[in-house]
Amino acid sequence: MAALLLFSLLLAAPVLLVASGPAPGSTNNTVPLVLWHGMGDSCCNPLSMGAIKKMIEQEIPGIYVLSLMIGKNVVEDTENGFFLDVNHQVSMVCSQLAQDPKLQGGYNAMGFSQGGQFLRAVAQRCSSPPMKKLISVGGQHQGVYGLPRCPGESSHVCDMIREALNRGAYSDLVQKHLVQAQYWHDPLNDNLYKKHSVFLADINQERTVNETYKKNLQQLEKFVMVKFLQDSVVDPVDSEWFGFLKTGQAKETETLQESDLYKQDRLGLAAMDKAGKLVFLATEGDHLQFSKEWFDANLLPYLR
């Protein structure tokens, strides 16, 4: 998400420890870590993802941390978080990971905000190299039906996005050129969403069941989802735990376990839940804001 949010995180928690367990790839038998930033941010912003990457490397000597850059530079990376087809982004990342010799033994992945669902798409579509654990920090796995707040220097961009979504999120033009439209989930127009959503409806098996997606996702050792209880950015916040608004109205929500996706087990989530692979974590605070102590106690164990 926007650099301002992650900067707030860094102010509250000047040191984030990210540890890993034995696996090939890094120089000290730690599991390599792949990071994907959120909307309005970039791979290497020194106030956000760049600082997080640096702190991880300082705390775990020898670990290999790849903070994904989508584009040739940080400007392109930031812009692509708004305007580059998500399916193309995922393909770019899959190719990059497959060509990285340090990742061939497997890796852990941590996605911030929209980076969470983008990395899930990587897990479903690209099984080599294998993703071991996926940590989604405020990701929107059932999409969003609102863009209530987008603080910081990208606010004017968000105003434009909000207007485009309101006018026609499922038009071919908007779907092709606007990232946030590709995970826009309108419960009042369910048929339009299922038919025209080029990204979210596909990875959530809304049109047909892709058995490869289901098989690949179930290869994860753990799928950790973090919800921010005071989130003013993600609407509805239940999407961070794979819940959403009930179809046909826009007030009442349902949990993942209450959804048809889970009951029909189209994505393998019910089987993963029964196997103890799904982890639902919650923290007080706004989007992407948490303390070092919370991170150490709740996320660090999954990276060992």
Catalytic (active-site) positions: 113, 231, 287
Phi-psi region of 178 (alpha: psi -120 to 50; beta: other; left: phi over 0): beta
Which of 205, 223, 226, 229 lies closest to 278, judged by CA? 223
Contacts of 53-58 spanning 24+ positions with Cβ under 8 A: 55/15, 55/16, 55/17, 55/18, 56/16, 56/17, 56/18
Where in the chain does DSSP place strands (E)?
Answer: 33-36, 65-67, 107-112, 131-137, 222-228, 244-245, 253-254, 278-283
Radius of gyration of the chain (CA): 18
Which of 184, 292, 164 lies closest to 234, judged by CA? 184
Which of 41, 16, 13, 33 lies closest to 115, judged by CA? 41
Distance between CA 135 and CA 71 in Å, rounded? 23
What's the Cα-to-Cα distance from 119 to each of 60, 110, 191, 197, rounded to whole Å? 23, 8, 26, 18
Looking at residue 288, what DSSP letter applies?
T
